[in-house]
Amino acid sequence: MIAYRQKLKLSVVAIAVSMGLAGTIVGCNDNNSTSQVQDEEAQFRAKAEAMVKDLSLSEKLDILQGPGMDLNTYAGIPPINLEEGKDVPGIAGYINGVKNEVLDIPAAKLSDGPAGLRFSPTREGQSGTFYATAWPIGSLLASSWDTDLVKKVGEAFGDEVKEYGVDFLLAPGMNIQRNPLLGRNFEYYSEDPVVSGKIAAAMVNGVESNGVGATIKHFVANNAETNRFFNDSIAEPRTLREIYLRSFQIAVEDSQPWAVMSSYNLLNGTYVDQRKDVLTDILRDEWKFKGLVMSDWFAGNVAGLTSDFTGDVGRDPESAAKQIAAGNNLIEPGNVKEDLQASYENGTLTEEDIDKSVVAILTQVQKSPSYNHYQYSESPDLNAHIALSRLAASESMVLLKNMESALPIAADKKVATFGTTQINTFKGGTGSGDVNSAYVKDIASGLAEQFDVNDGLVSFFSDYWDQNKVSNPALFASGYVIEEPSVAAVPALQELIASSAESDDAAIITIGRQAGEGSDRSSGKGDYLLSDTEQEMITAVAAAFHAKGKKVTVVLNVNGVIDTAAWSDSVDAILLAYMGGQETGSAVADVLSGAVNPSGKLAQTMPASYSDVPSSTTFPGTDVDGDGLPDKSYYNEGIYVGYRYYTSFNKPVSYAFGHGLSYTTFAYGNSAVTSNTLTAGGNLTITTTITNTGSVAGKEAAQVYVNAPENKLKKPTVELKAFDKTALLAAGESEVLTFNISAQTLSSFDPANNEWIIEPGTYNVYVAPSSDVSDIQPITFSISNEIVVSKTTPNTLALPDGVTAGSFVTVSE
Ligand code: BGC
């Protein structure tokens, strides 16, 4: 949340806090007994239940109403009982505290976001600056396929959360990347629910190992930014269960986060934050989630704001009550107390529902550093974290193409670098996922530390950038954008191309794309497609360098997937760097020089054409109400998202999901099912031996795809069920990887019977380097009778009135 604060016209609600300060205030922070108790969660819950008895209705409503953004930039209501001297300016919100005759619960602090902790670098009355580490974006971290690495990043990230005085991190973001043009894809991990769920769980476990909370978001089916407050995602229960909910289910079951953030969108006609089936029946009762649920900021039309925060559409004064009744415990960012009070008085909100939410919130708050009066240092070890950020970025970048060993480039070689993104390098996306880091190492500087770079070219692009940059017009954008110079129109650039092809050993062209919160990308030139000037630059540089027998590499410093089909044949190597955080430039250089052998693999497909994307005709939605903005998104493709579609309908792709090259080679051998205890609760164990058959050390991310029999249910040709990554294997070295697939992960959702089932028949299992399993010999196992893995709540996720299965235009070849 950034620049829209001035535009708010919300009524400020007077706070009626009963401040009965006479007599002794009994502190509630004695944790002595809890440390001895096995089930801490139950202990916190019992205490929260006791606390509720000492709260007036007014105090309870204060707790349900998050007071919103930081005091410096939001003219709203100040958080109640914020510990003196312990505010963190620039954060996204708070949970109100309480101070009465019995209780003294400090306000808790909530801060974004997915790629680093977000707060103001400067503070009133203080001369110093405060920075956080900018980590690699979510899509890049997921490309590591390395849950240990992601957990380490989470540990360091969580240390910053704690040492800067924050209690809950508003991350990780983990929506499924349904369409490559979603503006916020950079915050998210993958098109696949197993990758998203496992990587998110690793991040949550890392962050929370510090005793601070993580918030998985945006729950659920929040897959378009255009008109994001009012876009209605319309999808069948099976689609939701197997793809969009499944990632969150895995994250909840594997990491039990302190919080879940419900999403802006409607789902099948109702705001997600007002859906009891999603927030209570599924999240709490089926998945056993124990934490608190908070709304996204202004979600559910509590404020009557249009999606761009400029208009007034007429607010729903019952929205807050509907949210609380559904199980959305905390409403951000506040100003709903009067609504809640009115709903309580007119009987639409019961005290029982209010108490449930208060208990859910206070159960988590007791674990927080603020509640426990933690004396934070404001000086985490940023140097160590920056080094980890660089390592994580380099271990995650994906080498898409590398003909005739164009890469690595030996460290003493002369390199010619092209493109303004080498100067204006993107560390991350825009909006609440942006981070105030101390600096960004640009690609030109990173390369200069490891290669002999052509200074004339760096100066040319640096000057061009300074003279031609313009403010980025996107809604939440920060910074500038630029169009590349046209080679044909700039003689100085033509000369530099010709002279560098003579003098330098290799060319490196950087292509950049920025995007972020509040808007989606376009499928046209300059966004999904290269602009004419970018294409011109690639063509001219490739011609000049190839004429001299020299290689050309393209580095993609992008927010999300772009087209490569139109130009990849012109170049020798392509590195998908995504956005690597503040050390992007160093990480790119580490991979290009071979200091780090690339081991990242795509967590999303790179299609041959945008029109091949199964949601391309429905994204970001259809304007049904005629206001010029899309408001209905039909998920016609159903479960056929990403590689599930391309593999099932034989669509060729540019680079398959799971693809990524290394400077060495690997052989897969001895794949076998070593244990099969598949029952409702059992699992399947598979082992494979991975051998480094090349000449340099490297790591390999191996993936397990299953082709399942079809009885009642149609299935995608292959579905990822497990993955793992080797340690750094020396040339000739082997490692045995073990993959465990739970019955739940293997199962498919049978909507007719409200149950997850494993159907009988023969299963083909491919242990493979990518989702292209065409050359892989499967191993098989059989199931003789259908296994019902789990039952689900009947009548959940129903389609809206008037929509039936027949309303979806099913995808085909
Ligand atoms: C975003 C959330 C973010 C919140 C607070 C919202 O606009 O969607 O992801 O956590 O603002 O900044």
Substitution candidate for ligand 1 out of 296, 307, 330 with most atoms within 8 A of CB = 296
Q: Which residue has the tokens 């050359």?
A: 775
664 in Cβ contact with 694 (< 8 Å): yes
Residues with Cβ within 8 Å of residue 797, at least 6 apart in sequence: 237, 240, 241, 267, 268, 277, 278, 282
Substitution candidate for ligand 1 out of 70, 170, 228 with most atoms within 8 A of CB = 170
CA-based nearest residue to 178, from 619, 631, 527, 650: 619
Q: What is the DSSP code string of 34-49? A: HHH-S-HHHHHHHHHH
Residue 98 CB: number of other CB atoms within 10 A?
A: 26
Give the containing element (helix H, strand E) for 493.
helix 491-503
Atom of ligand 1 nearest to the CA of 112: 10
Q: What's the CA gap between 574 and 291, in Å, rounded?
A: 43
Give the containing element (helix H, strand E) for 737.
strand 734-742
637 in Cβ contact with 615 (< 8 Å): yes
Strands 761-768 and 779-783, sheet pairing: antiparallel
232-237-243 Cα angle (round to 5)? 85
Query: Is omega for the bond preceding 408 within 30 degrees of 0, making it cis?
Result: yes
Q: What's the CA gap between 64 and 62, in Å, rounded?
A: 6
Tokens representing 35 are 């440390």
Q: What CA dihedral angle connects 485, 490, 493 and 495, to 10 degrees?
A: 170
Does the beta carbon of 170 sit less than 6 angstroms from any atom of ligand 1? yes
CA of 714 relative to ligand 1 center, distance in Å = 37
Active site residues: 296
- The side-by-side arrangement of strands in the sheet containing 734-742 is 666-676, 683-692, 734-742
Does the beta carbon of 216 sit less than 6 angstroms from any atom of ligand 1? no
Atom of ligand 1 nearest to the CA of 1: 12
Does the beta carbon of 217 sit less than 6 angstroms from any atom of ligand 1? yes
Rounded to a whole number of angstroms, the CA Rg of the chain reads 26
Q: Which parts of the chain sit beneath pLDDT 50?
A: 1-38, 71-75
Q: What's the CA gap between 593 and 604, in Å, rounded?
A: 26
316 in Cβ contact with 270 (< 8 Å): no
Query: Is omega for the bond preceding 154 within 30 degrees of 0, making it cis?
Result: no
Spell 201-215 as b/e; 16+ CB within 10 A means b: bbbbbbbbebebbbb
Q: What's the CA gap between 135 and 392, in Å, rounded?
A: 8
Q: Which residue has the tokens 């794309």?
A: 513
Atom of ligand 1 nearest to the CA of 118: 12
Residues with Cβ within 8 Å of residue 309, at least 6 apart in sequence: 4, 7, 8
Q: Where are the alpha helices (DSSP H) in 579-727?
A: 584-593, 643-648
Does the beta carbon of 296 sit less than 6 angstroms from any atom of ligand 1? yes
**What pLDDT is attached to residue 811?**
81
Digit-coded pLDDT (tens) for 676-713:
999 988 999 999 999 999 999 999 999 999 999 999 99
Does the beta carbon of 558 sit less than 6 angstroms from any atom of ligand 1? no
**What pLDDT is attached to residue 148?**
98
Q: What's the CA gap between 727 and 391, in Å, rounded?
A: 15
CA of 621 relative to ligand 1 center, distance in Å = 21
Q: What's the CA gap between 247 and 267, in Å, rounded?
A: 17
CA-based nearest residue to 205, from 152, 136, 278: 152
Strands 632-634 and 452-453, sheet pairing: unpaired
Does the beta carbon of 94 sit less than 6 angstroms from any atom of ligand 1? no
**What pLDDT is attached to residue 11?**
30
CA of 264 relative to ligand 1 center, distance in Å = 10
Q: Provide the greatest CA pair distance for the chain.
A: 87
**What pLDDT is attached to residue 478?**
78
- Hey, whose CA ends up nearest to atom 7 of ligand 1? 1
99 in Cβ contact with 54 (< 8 Å): no
CA of 14 relative to ligand 1 center, distance in Å = 25
CA-based nearest residue to 104, from 87, 85, 88, 80: 80
Residue 623 CB: number of other CB atoms within 10 A?
A: 12
CA of 359 relative to ligand 1 center, distance in Å = 24
Query: How far, CA to CA in Å, does 522 sit from each of 66, 334, 766?
Result: 35, 34, 36
Strands (E), 296-347: none
- Hey, whose CA ends up nearest to atom 8 of ligand 1? 296
Does the beta carbon of 331 sit less than 6 angstroms from any atom of ligand 1? no
301-304-306 Cα angle (round to 5)? 95
CA of 568 relative to ligand 1 center, distance in Å = 36
Give the containing element (helix H, strand E) for 62.
helix 57-64
Atom of ligand 1 nearest to the CA of 2: 12
CA of 806 relative to ligand 1 center, distance in Å = 35
CA of 115 relative to ligand 1 center, distance in Å = 13
Query: How far, CA to CA in Å, does 344 sit from each of 50, 54, 62, 195, 277?
Result: 22, 19, 14, 42, 22
CA-based nearest residue to 428, from 683, 677, 692, 118: 118
Atom of ligand 1 nearest to the CA of 218: 9
CA-based nearest residue to 248, from 210, 208, 288, 213: 288
Digit-coded pLDDT (tens) for 27-63:
334 444 434 444 889 999 999 999 999 999 999 999 9
Atom of ligand 1 nearest to the CA of 93: 5
Substitution candidate for ligand 1 out of 1, 4, 302 with most atoms within 8 A of CB = 1
Does the beta carbon of 402 sit less than 6 angstroms from any atom of ligand 1? no
CA of 548 relative to ligand 1 center, distance in Å = 51
Strands 168-169 and 108-111, sheet pairing: parallel
Q: What's the CA gap between 172 and 186, in Å, rounded?
A: 11
Residue 199 CB: number of other CB atoms within 10 A?
A: 32
Q: What's the CA gap between 441 and 451, in Å, rounded?
A: 15
User: pTM of this prediction?
Assistant: 0.95
The burial class, CB within 10 Å (0-12 / 13-18 / 19+), for 610 is: buried
Does the beta carbon of 590 sit less than 6 angstroms from any atom of ligand 1? no
- Hey, whose CA ends up nearest to atom 12 of ligand 1? 1
- Hey, whose CA ends up nearest to atom 11 of ligand 1? 1
Tokens representing 321 are 């009550």
Does the beta carbon of 112 sit less than 6 angstroms from any atom of ligand 1? yes
659 in Cβ contact with 643 (< 8 Å): no
The total number of residues written for the chain in this structure: 813
CA of 316 relative to ligand 1 center, distance in Å = 20
**What pLDDT is attached to residue 76?**
60
CA of 88 relative to ligand 1 center, distance in Å = 17
End-to-end Cα separation, the chain, in angstroms: 41
Atom of ligand 1 nearest to the CA of 228: 8
Residues with Cβ within 8 Å of residue 382, at least 6 apart in sequence: 131, 133, 160, 438
Residue type, 623: D
Does the beta carbon of 297 sit less than 6 angstroms from any atom of ligand 1? yes
Atom of ligand 1 nearest to the CA of 170: 10
Q: What is the DSSP code string of 221-271? A: T----TTTTT-EEE--HHHIIIIIHHHHHHHHHHH--SEEEEPSSEETTEE
150 in Cβ contact with 206 (< 8 Å): yes
Tokens representing 387 are 């080094």
CA of 274 relative to ligand 1 center, distance in Å = 18
Does the beta carbon of 1 sit less than 6 angstroms from any atom of ligand 1? yes
Atom of ligand 1 nearest to the CA of 173: 9
- Hey, whose CA ends up nearest to atom 9 of ligand 1? 432
